Amino acid sequence: MTTLLIGATGMLKAAATHAVARSKKAVLVSRGAEDFSLDSDTLDRKLVRVPRSYDDSAAFLDAVASHAPYDLMLTWIRPPAEILRAALDGMTAPGGRLVEVMGSRSILLGEAGEASIAERRAQALALQPGVVYAQVILGFVIEGEVSRWLTHQEISAAAIAQMERPQARLVAGVLEPWEKRPG
């Protein structure tokens, strides 16, 4: 199995470790890829480190495409990069899985009442037969009278759940009441 990891060097490190452990080869794309380690020689040997930022979409896509197709993709990409996301969709192997992590704002309607980024992505991937698409929407946790953002472990646990038993959308934490979001 070949895995693609984008945006997986911070809060998704535990999920990246889980994915690499099940992979024959994993392509890690990150500005700091050269210095990244999964803290395991066995797992680190499976990593192909590609030091790229998706701010340079052409170079980024060229580097990623050279290792495609991918049986599993774990991505955390800023919402405005929709064209980049669409290009990556085509690099998924038949029957492959795309786990896309998004922030809580990804479910909000657009400025003119258009569908949210999360909904647009779900609609686009529904048109790609043979790709298992699973979203993770990051919410927050309410504890008594206060709320907090999710921990890295909670975020990775949600991503791992989507890798193992994918569903269309998994909300990690809660999204409502919206006004209770941490400051």
pLDDT, tens digit, for every residue of 103-118? Answer: 998 888 766 678 888 9
pLDDT band at 148 (very low <50, low <70, confident <90, very high): very high
> Domain containing 129: what range?
2-180
Whether the pLDDT of residue 37 is over 90: the answer is: yes
CATH of the domain at 146: 3.40.50.720
Q: What are phi and psi for residue 60, nearest 5 degrees?
A: -60, -50
Average pLDDT, the chain: 91
Please report the pLDDT score of residue 36 as a whole number. Answer: 93
* Residue 117 near residue 150, CB atoms below 8 Å: no
pLDDT band at 55 (very low <50, low <70, confident <90, very high): confident
pLDDT, tens digit, for every residue of 65-76? Answer: 999 999 999 999
Please report the pLDDT score of residue 68 as a whole number. Answer: 94
Please report the pLDDT score of residue 174 as a whole number. Answer: 96
| pTM score | 0.92
Nearest Cα to 32, choosing from 71, 5, 58? 5
Whether the pLDDT of residue 88 is over 70: the answer is: yes
Number of domains the chain is built from: 1
In one-letter notation, the amino acid at residue 76 is W
Whether the pLDDT of residue 79 is over 80: the answer is: no
